[in-house]
Structures are given as C-alpha cells and as structure tokens.
Amino acid sequence: VQNHFATVRYTIHVENEHSETVNSTFVLPIPKDTFIANFSAIIDGVEYAGEMVLNENISTEDNGTNTQNALTAQVRKRLIDDPKRNIFEIDLTLAADKETTFIVTYYEQLIRKGSHYKQRLIVEPGQLVDTLLVNAIFLEDQGFETFSYMLPMANDSHDASSDLASLLETPTKRSLLYQLSRDQQLAASNQGVVGEVIITYDLNYTQGAGMVDVKDEYFVHYFTPSGLKPIDKNILFVLDTSGSMAGIKIQQLRESMLTILDNLNPDDNFNILRFESNTSTLFDYPVEANLTNIEEAKILVRDTIKAGGGTAINDALLEAIISLKALPNKSRRAQLIFFLTDGGASVGETSRKKILQNVKSENDGSISIYCLGFGNNSDDEFLKELTKENRGIYAKIPEDA
C-alpha cells in the first residue's frame, strides 16, 4: 500500500504429481470495490499473461491462459450476494508431472471512514498448504498516527509483533509478516485457515495543507481538515414496515434505528416516517435530537413497529421530499432522507423506473437520499440508482449480519 492505494498480489503454487492430466477449481475471494489488473501463470520458468475477455467471447477451444497444452486456466466471477466480497474461480487443467504458479493482482483505493483506513486481506486457501504467507507493506508519506492488525480466526487486534505475526515500524513505513506452517494451520482447523487479515491505521495530519503526490504528469492532493463543526441537518428517517419486511428484516431495522438514534448529533433535527400501504409520522415536523425526543422515538421503534401491509415506496418518498422542502429553515440546514427498506414496491406506483423519475422530478437537488437495504433479496439495483441520482450512499444489510 502506497499513500492508501493498494496493489495486492495473490500467488498460488500448484503441482500435479499424478501421471495424468488433472482438472481442478480454485476459489479466490477478494474484497468488493477492487479491480483485477493481471492474471498470469508461470510454467517451466516462463510467465504467460492471461487476457481479460467477456464471458460470451470465451471459446470452448481456448479458455483463458493456454501454455502449449501444459496448462489451461480460466478465471471467472461467481455470482453471489455478499456485500463485502467477490468470488473468483480458477478452472485449471494441468498436465501430468507439471507445476505452475498463478499470480492474480488487484488494485484497491483505501477510503478513510470513521477516522481510519482499513484493508481486508482474505486468507482462505480452502485446504492445508505447505506455505501460507502474508507480507503486507504500507508506505505513507504523512507518517502513521495509529496502526493495528487482526489475524484470521482471532478476536483481538495488535499494534506490535505477536505470536503469529511480526511488525516492523519506521515513521513512514509498516511491514507486517504473517506466516503459518502446515502444523500451525492444522491447529487452527482441519480445513486450514479461514478468515481475514484486517489492517486498520490512520495518518499523522500535522501538515495543514495536506500532501501532494506527483507521478508522471498527474498529481493527487490529499488533505484532511480538522476542527470543523459538523453541519446542522434535518434528517427524515423513512422506515419500510410492510409485510415483505417480516422476520429478521424488521428486527434488523429496529436494531439499526436504535443505534442511529443513539448517535444523532444534538444540533440535528429529526423525524420518522413509517410506511406500508399508508404513511404516518412520529412528529409533525423535524424536532431537536434531545434526550426526550430521542427516547420517544426509541419507544416507537421498540414497541410499535411491526411488519404488515403493502409497500407504497413512491408515496412515502414523495411525502418525505415534500415535507422537507416545506420547512422554513431548510436553507440553513442540510436536508437528508435515510430510507430503510428491502426496496420492493407493491402498492401504488410499482415501476422502478417511474419511481426514480418521480423522485428526481420532486427533489430539487437540495435533499440527499441515503439507503439501507435489508435482506438477501433486497432490490439493490433500484436502491443504488436511487442514491446515485440523489447524492447519497447505499449500504446493504444481509440477513446474516
């Protein structure tokens, strides 16, 4: 990682000790929001680069990397519903008495969230291996304020060397080495290591003007303002309590709202709009986020929210936008809608395209819409587009979260 831009290389060594060709599939999970830059294979000392092609353009006669019939390999993405990772499968045909080394490289831009940067390195070989090694090097020109890591199948984080990992430190560099023998992997489980190396760190922001990183004809200016007062906000929570939210989804909605209410800024104003086939609001207008009002909102969330009825998404969103636009002090506060739903409309206007058009038409650009999608079958495509068109962010809450 250099200035919070990560280049990650997975190296997988495979040997066919049999007297005949072997077909096998290797599973490689990598974090979401990454970009695969290279796939290559080394055989007989020669590195062969793979070529990225669309699925429909793959020929059955020449799949993936073909190294003169000694090796044929194809990488494909498995469709899964996981908000944190993508799964890639490497289909391998390796000739008798041959060995190869796969190299898969991906890029990731680390984003500062919650006052720190975080990198997740997924370590799941799927079996016991002769050598399991993670070598992570971090170079940050601004220097490190904090740095810690958590190892797979562990509950505690470390900010120095530990029993299974060594950490070397300089003001602008951290080198983490995690290596397990076959016996150490077996001690973890019969299937070997399953988990992630999670690195969390923040930088030393002593330079008020930040840092400029120049490469070739391009530059990036990094700066992190401090001491700024959070902007005051009017926040309207739009809660889907329709029948499709029954079970674990409505329970997760309650838990999410209780956590959010505990973290409201005292200078913010808020209100709650519930909807199924019909809509209702807790207060007539957004009220101060003081202890009394927050406790009243918690009682509503804990004791009265139940799943039932249809899902009138169009009506609920339009009512929310209109109510915020009507506030007399809206120009002095940021206007936010937090939409908690599974995203499937069943009452009134049900066309996703039409709902998006209606919201865009009613919203004059002054209101940002953020979405939390609940359930494994949430309409992610619709909710992502809704937030994209209204200057918000979408996050998915899976049922096993």
Question: Per 3-state DSSP, what percentage of the chain is helix, strand, and coil (rounded to 5)?
Answer: 20, 40, 40
pTM: 0.59
Boundary residue ending a domain (154, 181, 203): 203
Say how far apart CA 305 and CA 300 lie, in whole Å.
Answer: 7
Asked whether residue 91 falls in the same domain as residue 47, the answer is yes
pLDDT tens profile 263-290: 999 999 999 999 999 999 999 999 999 9
44 confidence band (pLDDT: 50, 70, 90)? confident
Rg from Cα positions in the chain = 26
Domain span holding position 331 = 233-397
Mean pLDDT value of segment 100-127: 89
Q: State residue 59's pLDDT score.
A: 46
Q: What is the pLDDT of residue 96?
A: 85
The pLDDT of residue 86 is: 85
pLDDT value for 330:
56
CB 356: neighbour CB atoms within 10 A?
A: 18
Looking at the fold, whether 164 and 262 belong to one and the same domain comes out as no
Look at residue 54 in the predicted model and tell me its pLDDT: 47
CATH number of the domain bearing residue 249: 3.40.50.410
Residue with tokens 């291996």: 129
- Do 133 and 261 lie in a common domain? no
Q: How many residues does the chain have?
A: 401
pLDDT (tens digit, 9 = 90+) per residue, 50-106?
765 545 444 444 444 554 456 666 767 776 767 788 888 878 788 888 888 889 899
Q: pLDDT value at position 23?
A: 86
Q: In whole numbers, what is the pLDDT of the chain averaged over residues?
A: 87
How far, rounded to the nearest angstrom, does the alpha carbon of residue 392 sit from its chain's CA centroid?
Answer: 15
Instruction: Please tell me the predicted confidence (pLDDT) of residue 58.
Output: 45
- Residues near 14 by beta carbon (within 8 Å), at least 6 away in sequence: 24, 26, 92, 94, 99, 100, 101, 102
- The rounded percent of the chain whose pLDDT value lies above 90 is 55
**Token output for 365:** 């650009």
Return the higher-pLDDT residue of 116 and 220: 116
Average pLDDT over every residue of 18-39? 86
Whole-number Å distance between alpha carbons of 9 and 106: 7
Asked if 158 and 241 sit in the same domain, the reply is no
Contact 186, 128 (CB under 8 A): yes
SS3 353: helix
More confident residue, 314 or 187: 314
220 within a domain of the structure (yes/no): no
Query: Is the Cβ–Cβ distance between 38 and 104 less than 8 Å?
Result: yes
Tell me the average pLDDT across 139-166.
93
Q: Is there a single domain that holds both residue 155 and residue 273?
A: no
Residues 280 and 144 in one domain: no
The answer on 145 and 270 residing in a single domain is no
User: Is 90 exceeded by the pLDDT of residue 190?
Assistant: no
Q: How confident is the model at residue 398 (pLDDT cuts 50, 70, 90)?
A: confident
In a shared domain, residues 312 and 249: yes
E strands within 163-320?
Answer: 165-170, 173-180, 195-203, 211-215, 218-222, 233-240, 269-275, 279-281, 287-288
Q: Is residue 32 part of a domain?
A: yes
- Give me the phi and psi of 216, to 5 degrees please: 55, -125
218-238, pLDDT tens digit by residue? 777 666 666 667 788 999 999
Judge whether 72 lies within some domain: yes
Rounded distance between C-alpha atoms, residue 301 and residue 258, angstroms: 7
Q: Over the stretch 203-214, which tens digit does the pLDDT of each residue have?
A: 887 765 566 777
Q: 3-class SS at 77?
A: strand
Domain tally for the chain? 2
Residue 117 in contact with residue 204, Cβ under 8 Å? no
